[in-house]
Chain A
Amino acid sequence: MSNPPTIEAIGLNISFGHGARTTRAVRDASFRVGQGEAFGLIGESGSGKSTVLRALSGLNEHYEGSLLLHGRELPHRRDKAFFRHTQMVFQDPYGSLHPRKMVNKVLLEPLTIHGLDRPQQRVDEALTAVGLGPSFRYRYPHELSGGQRQRVAIARCLILEPEVLLLDEPTSALDVSVQAEILNLLARLRQERNLTYIMVSHDLAVVAHLCGRVAIMSQGEIVEELPVADLRAGRAEHPYSRTLLAASRSQRPAA
């Protein structure tokens, strides 16, 4: 890789609490994600994978170590320009849309904040891109299904035309049939727009479907990084990774 990677984490440490009750949620995590790559972070709950994502997104400003975008270190308090490069899709589409705002308003908000032109046209384009269409503009979230809400949440990210999407278990709150639709949508969007994905999940099948390379986290540490082909074939080196893969295989014998 001659160009600097799109996203790079160097020696990321995140802890919560003070003094004796400090919990080190992430220990010395480092990884690089290249332009247009889909990178997966997997691990059981509490392994720190979502914490990495929240630090990356700018929601958690209290971390040690460096996070770099295109080789330049990001300030802990992100500036407005950063959010045009990087957007995040949340896990629970029932919680990530404002319950009192119409889809139209939800999508116009980022455009107003960043002062983008042709707002109406952009809203229609974003809704069409996620497979909903302009007829969904004047609906409230409670009038939408879980899958439709997640599509609106994705549209809200896309409307700022970011190059990096952070995906925090974007399908785990959805029905299995809807999960596949959303995953296919994400795969198509990445292809069309040359997006870079960093996806957090505990579902190995989901990660294997979308990502090219995964890092396995355990107790705040990245224990192993491997291409998805190795993940599918079960070629892991670290004992923890082997246990995780074995557990996942025994869970779904058909896959």
Chain B
Amino acid sequence: MSASTPFGVWLRAPVPASPFQARMQALWKAWRRLRGNPPALAGAILLVLLLAVAIFAPLIATHDILAQDLTARLQKPSATHWLGTDDLGRDIFSRVVYGSRITLYIAFLAALIAAPLGLIIGTTAGYLGGWTDTILMRLVDIFLSFPSLILALAFVAALGPGIENAIIAISLAAWPPIARLARAETLTVRNSDYIAAVRLQGASRMRIIVHHVMPMCIPSVIVRITLNMAAIILTAAGLGFLGLGAQPPSPEWGAMLSTGRQFAMNAWWIAAIPGCAILLTSLAFNLFGDGLRDILDPRHG
């Protein structure tokens, strides 16, 4: 954006004239910080690509993902099948493309459940203190004392296999660390003067938690959940691998990896391609999450 265009001038005006302009300026500064952080930028680009692939999957996929062709099974990557075919002759490229939808669906939905839940419980416990704090945090301790994959496994086993149940199970395992993080952040701000100042304006406790404590916790929660996305994706893939997540013939990456395992010796691409997709996606979320940590702090203006 050149400084000479009217828009560039508007974006750089030293004194914003409207809330919209102030927000746009903050966004512009965030973008400039992201640009100055190559790993984070790489993560962001990968994620945008992944999102585009998921959205435009029908346009990108070259084959029907469910059509079996036993005459063309276990084929090497070639011009017709860019990433080869699996044991039932299905095109792996198309399946990986469609699989991105399932992976992102699981990751975002789990994050969307776990982050607000953790945030609400953590800030409430931290701000109110006393008995509320004790009860909520012991609950968190109980959840944290289970390994998260085992907890997710137990939930899925109880609820039955399937994507929706996998999402519920993953969210249930993902919220406690976020609650603990939000509580720790809350404890650092609850005795600050600006919280005292809103108390002296007559604000209710509910109002203070939602409007004044939560905004201080949200950035670190977003960073944490972005970094957690990698773990969520791996858990989802793990559940798929164990046959407890997405069910065949759905092209879930973990499930694809699981079938590829049997042919790993003579048809490496069946397992390697979805494996690489999982790896790249987790990596992208991790890189981007690290970058977000620097960006979401307005004090570095």
Contact = CB atoms under 8 A, between A and B. Distances in A.
* A and B co-occur in one complex: yes
A176 interface: no
Contacts, number: 81
Interface stretch (A19-27, A133-141, A230-238): A133-141
Contacts of B202: 80, 82-84, 110, 113-114
Contacts of B216: 98-100
B138 interface: no
Interface stretch (A86-94, A202-210, A216-224): A86-94
Interface in B253-301: 298-299, 301
Interface string A137-160: 011101100000000010010001
Interface stretch (A63-71, A101-109, A181-189, A239-247): A101-109
Contacts of A58: 199-200
A57 interface: yes
Contact of B215 (A87, A100, A138, A156): A100
B32 interface: no
Given A90-B197, A113-B207, A153-B197, A99 B298 contact: yes
Contacts of B194: 95-99
Contact of B298 (A88, A100, A160): A100
A96 to B, nearest CB: 4
B201 interface: yes
Nearest to B215: A100
Contacts of A82: 202
A83 B201 contact: yes
Contacts of B215: 98, 100-101
Nearest to B218: A100
A107 to B, nearest CB: 11
A99 B192 CA distance: 11
B301 A59 contact: no
A86 to B, nearest CB: 8
B201 A142 contact: no
Nearest to A104: B19
Interface string A188-230: 0000000000000000000000000000000000000000000
Q: Which of A59, A100, A110 has the most CB of B within 10 A?
A: A100
A99 B300 CA distance: 11
Nearest to A168: B193
A138 B19 contact: yes
B200 A139 contact: no
A82 B201 CA distance: 9
Nearest to A143: B301
B196 to A, nearest CB: 6
A142 B15 contact: no
A156 B197 contact: yes
B199 to A, nearest CB: 7
Interface in B11-60: 15-19, 21-22
B198 interface: yes
Nearest to B216: A100
B242 interface: no
Nearest to B17: A138
Nearest to A58: B200
B210 interface: no
Contacts of A97: 194, 197
Given A92-B193, A95-B193, A98-B194, A59 B21 contact: no
Given A99-B298, A104-B19, A57 B200 contact: yes
Interface string A40-83: 00000000000000000111000000000000000000001011
B56 to A, nearest CB: 36
Given A138-B21, A138-B22, A142-B298, A109 B193 contact: no
Given A59-B200, A109-B201, A138-B21, A90 B298 contact: no
Q: Which of B22, B193, B199 has the most CB of A within 10 A?
A: B193
A96 B193 contact: yes
Interface of B: 15-19, 21-22, 192-194, 196-203, 207, 211-212, 215-216, 298-299, 301
**Minimum-distance CB pairs A-B, first 9:** A96-B193, A83-B202, A138-B22, A80-B202, A95-B193, A138-B16, A110-B201, A98-B194, A90-B193
14 contacts: A58-B199, A87-B201, A95-B192, A95-B194, A98-B194, A100-B216, A102-B22, A109-B201, A109-B203, A113-B202, A113-B203, A114-B201, A136-B15, A139-B16
Given A90-B197, A98-B194, A99-B299, 8 more contacts: A58-B199, A83-B201, A91-B193, A97-B194, A104-B19, A109-B203, A109-B211, A139-B22
Interface of A: 57-59, 80, 82-84, 87-88, 90-92, 95-102, 104, 109-110, 113-114, 135-136, 138-140, 142-143, 153, 156, 160
